């Protein structure tokens, strides 16, 4: 299978392209294509996920292993890895290891749901592992940067700072259609 088939990019964004519709999106695109770490904060429906997935699509075209996953889906892997079903546990452990080693990892929807204490610890471990291996991590959230820092904790946030993580705020009205 190609790299793109394993990327985790949702069906909706499989053909997404790196094209800006707004000034904040132009800034986001410029930051997506360079740097080690990125924190993308902003309003709902402003194209954060669309552009991050478009970036992964571009990386796939040049065989760079990149992954899209939501924070909760990642955290849920830690629950299923303790499953009594051997196949489920093995699959979860393999995916956790992959998330720690993809060249680029996009973690979306940070702060959407409450995490258990163990899930918070595992998220910290993910950040630490990627920090130690100097791998690019992109976080996407509707939270304010200060709330994001509180969410991941001082230790993980300090590591993101050393990874030259840049914060980009994508604000504005939702670009999604109307009902």
For 27-58, what is each residue's pLDDT tens digit?
999 899 877 789 999 999 999 999 999 999 99
The pLDDT value recorded for residue 56 is 95
User: What does each C-alpha distance from 12 to 39, 91, 106 come to in angstroms?
Assistant: 22, 24, 16
- Tens of pLDDT along 51-95? 999 999 999 999 999 999 999 898 888 776 665 677 666 777 788
Q: What is the mean pLDDT of residues 144-152?
A: 92
From CA 161, how far away is CA 77, in angstroms rounded? Answer: 26
Percent of the chain whose pLDDT exceeds 70: 93
- Sign of the alpha-carbon torsion through 76, 82, 88, 93: positive
The pLDDT value recorded for residue 49 is 96
The pLDDT value recorded for residue 45 is 93
The pLDDT value recorded for residue 40 is 96
Backbone angles phi, psi at 66, to 5 degrees: -135, 150
From CA 173, how far away is CA 3, in angstroms rounded? Answer: 34
From CA 117, how far away is CA 21, in angstroms rounded? Answer: 39
The pTM score is 0.90
Percent of the chain whose pLDDT exceeds 90: 58
C-alpha 133, offset from chain centre: 17
Query: Are the CB atoms for 87 and 47 separated by under 8 Å?
Result: no
- Tens of pLDDT along 119-134? 888 889 999 999 999 9
Q: What contacts 105, CB < 8 A, 6 or more positions away? A: 66, 67, 69, 99, 130, 135, 136, 137, 138
Q: How confident is the model at residue 142 (pLDDT cuts 50, 70, 90)?
A: very high
- Sign of the alpha-carbon torsion through 26, 8, 157, 144: positive
The pLDDT value recorded for residue 89 is 66
The pLDDT value recorded for residue 20 is 92
């Amino acid at each position: 299978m190609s790299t793109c088939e394993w990327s985790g990019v949702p069906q909706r964004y499989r053909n997404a392209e790196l094209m800006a519709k707004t000034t904040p999106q132009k800034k986001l695109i410029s930051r997506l294509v360079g740097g080690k770490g990125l924190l993308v904060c902003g309003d709902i429906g402003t194209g954060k996920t669309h552009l991050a997935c478009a970036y992964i699509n571009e990386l796939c075209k040049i065989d760079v292993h990149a992954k899209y996953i939501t924070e909760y889906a990642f955290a849920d892997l830690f629950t299923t890895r303790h499953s009594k079903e051997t196949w489920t546990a093995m699959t979860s452990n393999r995916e956790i290891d992959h998330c720690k080693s993809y060249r680029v990892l996009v973690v979306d929807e940070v702060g959407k749901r409450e995490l258990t204490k163990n899930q918070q610890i595992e998220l910290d471990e993910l950040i630490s592992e990627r920090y130690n291996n100097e791998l690019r991590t992109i976080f996407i959230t509707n939270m304010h940067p200060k709330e994001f820092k509180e969410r991941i904790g001082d230790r993980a946030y300090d590591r993101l700072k050393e990874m030259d993580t840049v914060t980009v705020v994508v604000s504005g009205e939702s670009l999604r259609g109307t009902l």
